[in-house]
Structure 1
Amino acid sequence: MTEHIKNERWVYFADWEHGPAARVEDLVLLGYDHFSKATPLTSHMHEDAYEFVYVDQGAVDWEVGEEPYSTNAQHIIHTRPGERHRASFDYIGPSTIWWMIIRDPAQEKEWFGLQEEERQIFVKWIQNCPRVQLVSKDIVIYFKRLKQLLQQQQHTELLEFQLRHYVLELLLHILHHPQHVVQSPNMHTYTLQLKERLLQNPFERYTIGQLAEEMGLSESHFYRVFRETNGQSPTAYMERVRMDYACQVLKESEMSITDIAMELGFKTSQHFSTVFKKMIGMTPKAWRKQNTK
């Protein structure tokens, strides 16, 4: 993603709409975000609702309560009613996400128009849903269809039914389908191992050739599978891991910005600051001032 591309956002607010769509009150919010640069995403919660976030492209680190969670492309993460959550370090890096907020089925007797027995099945499924899971890319079809329906200028008699249908189809895709495997489960495991190696030795500069050789793949094949699995290039992924590490050091130590740049393998502090601002949204100096007492 390049810097000249602007962030894109589309959000549907149930309470602000009119016509049949407004009667689907259990769909609180539906949204799409394309972040071309680091953007603030601070702590918040939904008192009586669940939020589901699907990562279409990129890698996003989250904090739910005090627990950290990492997501890559084809991951979906959810939060429960009353759980405070945010993007790690209050900033979400370049990525594309779809997200949906729905009312808690345990508290809504007429949840999406289901019969009591059906509603209780969803209550059980949603309460036992893994925090983070892999899903098929097909899930985007349901998000896009919902968006198209909500953007209709004319509300037909079937709109309310269609909206309920696609929300429930999307939830079934998340809650009741077996976890889908991304294009390469081995690459997913390798990505997590690579992240650990970078956090332990952030100054290391691995070439795509080196990484491909470790996996026993050609450079072109490695690059394609890595991008399909993680939604971004190996270089972009490794740079994001280094910037997350830099945030931790800036917050927890008094190391100079120059020393941090050297530890991360940058030749100059100016280059480090440029990359940091692109990923995090502000200079290292400004970020440290904002995040330390």
Structure 2
Amino acid sequence: MKDHTKNERWVYILEGEHGPAARVKDLVLLGYDHFSKATPLTDHVHEDAYEFVYVDQGAVDWEVGSENHHTNAQHVIHTSPGERHRASFDYIGPSTIWWIIIRDPAREKEWFGLQEKEHQTFIKWIQSCPRIQLVSKDVVVYFKRLKQLLQQQNTELLEFQLRHYIMEILLHILHHPQLVVQSQNMHTYTQQLKERLLQNPSARYAIGQLAGEMGLSESHFYRVFRETNGQSPTAYMERVRMDYACQLLKESKMSITDVAMELGFKTSQHFATVFKKMIGLTPMAWRKQNA
């Protein structure tokens, strides 16, 4: 993952816009976020719009209604109109995401200027879209082009170009075959590793040990793991432990020291340092906030 020293954000909001871009009324919001540290992402809802979030780097856990979902790099997760959603525990960890919010085509007669037959096809696709799916990194090219166009807005064809790139993004998401990403086996292994850590959070696994389990060299394992998950094996395992720590702090009466010991930290001070780096608050402050 690119090593930024601070969070980065860019957001386009239709409301208040003027000129050609404002005529593309079915694009509600478009954004990019790079989170270098844990950042609040709390409960919210879009009453008449769909939201699609592409995880470019990192791993993110979500709550949509009463459902929990895990996403890795190259995953898209979407929410339908009226669905409440948030990052798990109201915090999103270090990651990079692109997201787009568009009006519900079933409620808009002239949705992105499509003809009736095309309009009905998109309604069918969007209503049957899986909650999470794998999408090629090629989609990022179109997100970046949209961002550039909206920042400059100096072309006579802006309105047409915006619609074109939005359609390209939606086509990648809605009508794109499920992909075998860098390593489907690594995706499966990552989930198994997470389950092992949750069962025994104090366990510490060396890269060489994990690589041996996959039958790979350390360097090859590290590269494929990072390409698949958007972060190093060590960072991923620490994130799993911190998510589990949040669960213990919220749902149990264990002391901070006992939580640290449960997760295999030699001192509560070391645990608190790692927790604050990844979650954004000290364990005690997080517990008070989420009591």
**TM superposition score normalised by structure 1:** 0.98
Other-structure match for 1:261: 260
Does the 8 Å contact 2:32/2:98 carry over to 1? yes
Distance in 1 between residues matched to 2:167 and 2:246, nearest whole Å: 39
Instruction: Report Cα offsets for 1:214-237 as digits up to 9, x if no partner.
Output: 000000000000000000000000
| Counterparts of residues 1-293 of structure 1 (less than 5 Å) | 5-154=5-154, 156-292=155-291
Query: Aligned with 1:11: secondary structure?
Result: strand
Secondary structure of the residue aligned to 2:106 is coil
Residue aligned with 2:188, SS: helix
Name the CA distance, whole Å, in 2 between partners of 1:232 and 1:262: 25
Hey, what's the Cα distance between the residues in 2 that align with 1:47 and 1:4?
Answer: 34
Measure the CA separation in 2 of the matches of 1:195 and 1:27.
37
CA distance in 1, matches of 2:135, 2:125: 16
User: 1:2 Cα deviation (Å)?
Assistant: 9.2
- The answer to whether the Cα contact below 8 Å between 1:227 and 1:234 also exists between their aligned partners in 2 is yes
Read off the aligned partner of 1:185 and give its amino acid letter. Answer: Q
1:46 & 1:262 partners in 2: Cα distance?
41
**Which 5+ residue runs of structure 2 have no aligned equivalent?**
none
What is the CA-CA distance between 1:94 and the residue it aligns to? 0.6
State the TM-score, normalizing by the size of structure 2: 0.98
Amino acid at match of 1:173: H
In structure 2, give the amino acid aligned to 1:251: K
* Partner Cα distance (1:215, 1:131) in 2: 29
- Identity %, equivalent residues: 85
Give the Å deviation of 1:16.
2.3
* CA distance in 1: counterparts of 2:176 and 2:4, whole angstroms: 39
Give ranges in structure 1 of 5+ residues lacking alignment: none
Tell me the CA shift for residue 6 of structure 1.
1.1
In 2, the alpha carbon distance for the partners of 1:178 and 1:35 equals 29
Using the TM superposition, give the Cα deviation of residue 153 of structure 1 relative to its aligned residue in structure 2, in angstroms.
Answer: 4.4
Deviations 1:133-172 (A, max 9, x none): 1111101001001111111142x33110110011011100
SS in structure 2 opposite 1:202?
coil
Paired amino acid for 2:289: Q
Answer yes or no: is the 8 Å Cα contact 1:2–1:36 preserved in 2. Answer: no
Deviation of 1:180 after TM superposition, in Å, equals: 1.3
Q: Secondary structure at the match of 2:220?
A: helix
Q: Within 2, Cα distance between the matches of 1:210 and 1:157?
A: 58
2:21–2:153: 8 Å Cα contact kept in structure 1?
no
Q: Distance in 2 between matches of 1:177 and 1:99?
A: 18
Deviation string, structure 1 residues 33-85 (Cα, Å, up to 9, x no partner)? 00011100000000000000000011100000010000010001000000000
* Deviation of 1:18 (Å): 1.4
Whether the 8 Å CA contact 1:15–1:25 is kept in 2: the answer is: no
Rounded Cα–Cα distance in structure 1 between residues aligned with 2:153 and 2:176: 33
Distance 1:118 1:4, change over 3 A: closer
- CA distance in structure 1 between the partners assigned to 2:141 and 2:180 by the alignment: 18
Q: Quick check: 1:136–1:181 contact (8 Å CA) kept in 2?
A: no
Which aligned runs of 4 or more in structure 1 are off by greater than 3 angstroms? 1-4
Distance 1:26 1:4 in 2: 33
1:189 to 1:263, Cα distance in 2 relative to 1, 3 A: same
- Deviation string 1:103-141 (CA, Å, 9 cap, x unpaired) is 000000000000111111000000110001111110100
Amino acid at match of 2:115: Q
* Partner AA of 1:150 in structure 2: L
Amino acid at match of 2:139: I
Name the SS of the counterpart of 1:151 in structure 2.
Answer: helix
